[in-house]
Structure 1
């Protein structure tokens, strides 16, 4: 049973929330009957415990997905699409309950949690429509001897690994295209935020997803569990969202069985502001790009590069806005910045800020780790940050905005591209020609041009360099779960 704060009573957080493994359509304990505590990051208190899967449980989940695979692949695309549409409708109907559940186990402020639920639901709607649009092609071979017929078929059993920062959206962004393509799945959500994943699985069962098509396992022995599943001969796809470090390990594991991999990995997004930018629009965009989910997002603006003529005004404006945010428990109304996910997160952020200050950086607002219950770090703006500081070299994953001044466009682009990551970049300028030129030169899979938010189920999401492989969303997302089969035929 959930141990929930009084402010969340009456919102039906128990509705659809399961805490056991889902394998072959049945909710069950792990083989060793062990449990994992789930904490409220706003208080550090235990709110629930979930089943702890063993390697055998993981393999049983793969077997269940394999047993259901042929039937689901043979299900007409329209029928698959209608089931996904029902998932969308149920999510919308229960949006407030799901948002508060996300805030409880993840810590994000309610406005962000509500936005996530709306975004997550859209993947069900988008891929319910894409299910009937997996088109092949037919052409005449150049030598004229035969026709080239190409079909797209489901790739097969897919292992989906999702992070804690967007527990609903990362799950639907993978499950929806996989099911639309005709694949069965084993979802392994983060143990920090498993309740949302289990609630989503129960919702999908209610929507009519057949038993065994969606399986969910959580484990304290994640590395062993995933390794075993990736060495199961029936697994043909891995879709992972998480750190680049873990992504590299999984790619090595997947190589043993030559498993197709989609990798949405780390980011270190530059946010470039030119002198001719509209200051208020740039600040609006900066707040969205930096503070969505408290900065715990792979798309979060990580490095702010501002041209000299506007730098002081931008820094003061951003500090004023960041300082006005209300820090507190994410599920309390009026809070605009919730806690970080755990103690290690705020300790790392605090260490990086202190290191930058020791090397000459200047804190305009924030900069000190919270005391007392919960894992809080205040919205922080730092200027004069050295170029080799961790705050600009690595992913902050928190509410800290380091600002660096630049002079020329070439300098800004060089700074922006000086990273092993290439997920997303942002640029603000009123000169559209300049903006498009800069966007073309960014080494990134996505660009926000005068926009602080780019995520959309209808757009291809993904990065270049060390930020990943493949794309999620758009029509590209469903093709990640398909194999192209070529048939040579003459008539």
Structure 2
């Protein structure tokens, strides 16, 4: 905050300024309630200016030499690396990230920005044979124009940058709206770094509105052609409906109810370790977090015992302590929602085998055993709560995993890798990790979900394609025979 005094401003038309909305947003530390800053929110007029600015700047940015574009992205990589300590500190203070999670997030940000720096040099076209004599078919890859990016609170910096960097690299303008709980790490710090990297003024804009004042203008505005949203399935469905009505392209990365399947020949200690990592990283506030752990009856009792024993040893509390692995949830409402689901699951027959406690916004781990029908198994917990379910066969484990509206991530532990892969292929989900846990993201690999977990894919060439379009231009080099022309001459 001391290095970047602009971080509590909107960034519109290349200028850091207060919004002209009617609300002042308080940004606080979810662990201790400390006020980190106050932001005057953006109005509809501010949003309209941001979109116009992005549109105007994009026309010139599209013409910039691809090597120059790539150099600006590379400069941003260097700045993210140089500012690592500050970025980690901001993530800990604003989003409640632990030291471990914050460093992982910065690594992800650096990786996707570096990969995106290659995109300007990969905006290639094609020449394709034609059915028509003397015709040359050309396919040109072009930016879509302006992209609207709407980010979440849990991995605020990375899940915004995952769209911003590819969109800018492929020649687009961007208007970014962060979650109101993480506007600094989810937006203003990113814009500041790109500003220092030398991006043209007005190309990247940040607006921090009060949704009650601006409604759906971010999606309904006529300028953006692509809406990239990461967040809940409910909000994603609403955005998807707007995009369908207005013929815009949605990229939606939504919720998950991810399962870890522990088959009868699995290495139980490796499986337990994966289950701890995949469940409790960032307190379970990750769309890829494990929600259900499905264990074969042969290993079930031993697994539950070891899992509970090790979960009790996890250090919980202040995220500024580098040894802490579970810190605060984002707000009190999250704790109340989770505790209500736990109580409901208990009434449905689930047994609490490890009972946590609440200290402020910190929730200690809860572990339940039960069926796939209890509330904690059916609902995405987005917190440090795991439900362990017994199964009797591979097929039953697959059926349990698929008995969900979601299909984002998952994992399978098996003694035979190929057995694990064959099981993984039968799970209806965008990503499955064999002999690992569910929280994986890499800059070159297709990332995305099935069913209610979203539409579209991030990563490598897929990100390049998501934020671009193709235009067919044909060239008729020889005069083409025309029956109309012949008849006219006669």
TM-score band (shorter)? over 0.9
The one of 380, 384, 408 equivalent to 1:399 is: 384
Aligned pairs for 1:3-402 within 5 A: 14-15=3-4, 18-32=7-21, 34-142=23-131, 146-196=135-185, 197-221=187-211, 225=214, 227-368=216-357, 370-371=358-359, 374-383=360-369, 385-402=370-387
Asked whether the 8 Å contact 1:61–1:186 carries over to 2, the reply is yes
Report the counterpart of residue 7 of structure 1 in structure 2: none
How far apart are the structure 1 equivalents of 2:329 and 2:319?
A: 10
How far apart are the structure 1 equivalents of 2:218 and 2:339?
A: 37
User: Which runs of no fewer than 5 residues in structure 2 stay unpaired?
Assistant: 478-490
Asked whether the 8 Å contact 1:187–1:214 carries over to 2, the reply is yes
SS at match of 1:398: coil
Q: Deviation per CA, 1:156-175: give whole Å up to 9, x if none.
A: 11110000001110111010
TM-score (norm 1): 0.93
Compared CA separation, residues 318 and 131, structure 1 to 2 (3 A): farther
Deviation at 1:436, TM superposition (A): 1.4
Deviation at 1:143, TM superposition (A): 5.4
Asked whether the 8 Å contact 2:20–2:40 carries over to 1, the reply is no
Q: Deviation per CA, 1:25-49: give whole Å up to 9, x if none.
A: 1011111464101121102342211
Asked whether the 8 Å contact 1:16–1:202 carries over to 2, the reply is no
SS at match of 2:117: helix
Deviates more, 1:316-325 or 1:182-191: 316-325
Asked whether the 8 Å contact 1:417–1:443 carries over to 2, the reply is yes
SS at match of 1:441: coil
- List 4+ stretches of structure 1 deviating above 6 A: none
Deviation at 1:474, TM superposition (A): 1.5
Asked whether the 8 Å contact 1:289–1:301 carries over to 2, the reply is yes
Deviation at 1:150, TM superposition (A): 0.9
SS at match of 2:275: helix
How far apart are the structure 2 equivalents of 1:143 and 1:304?
A: 58
Report the counterpart of residue 449 of structure 2 in structure 1: 463
How far apart are the structure 2 equivalents of 1:332 and 1:191?
A: 25
Deviation at 1:142, TM superposition (A): 4.2
How far apart are the structure 1 equivalents of 2:265 and 2:148?
A: 47
TM-score (norm 2): 0.94
Over aligned residues, Cα RMSD in angstroms? 1.6
Deviation at 1:304, TM superposition (A): 0.7
Report the counterpart of residue 473 of structure 1 in structure 2: 459
Deviates more, 1:335-344 or 1:77-86: 77-86
How far apart are the structure 2 equivalents of 1:203 and 1:30?
A: 20
Q: Deviation per CA, 1:232-274: give whole Å up to 9, x if none.
A: 2221110000111101111122234311111111111111011
Deviation at 1:454, TM superposition (A): 2.2
Asked whether the 8 Å contact 1:230–1:257 carries over to 2, the reply is no
Deviates more, 1:83-92 or 1:256-265: 256-265
Deviates more, 1:61-70 or 1:47-56: 47-56
Asked whether the 8 Å contact 1:319–1:364 carries over to 2, the reply is yes
How far apart are the structure 2 equivalents of 1:142 and 1:356?
A: 63
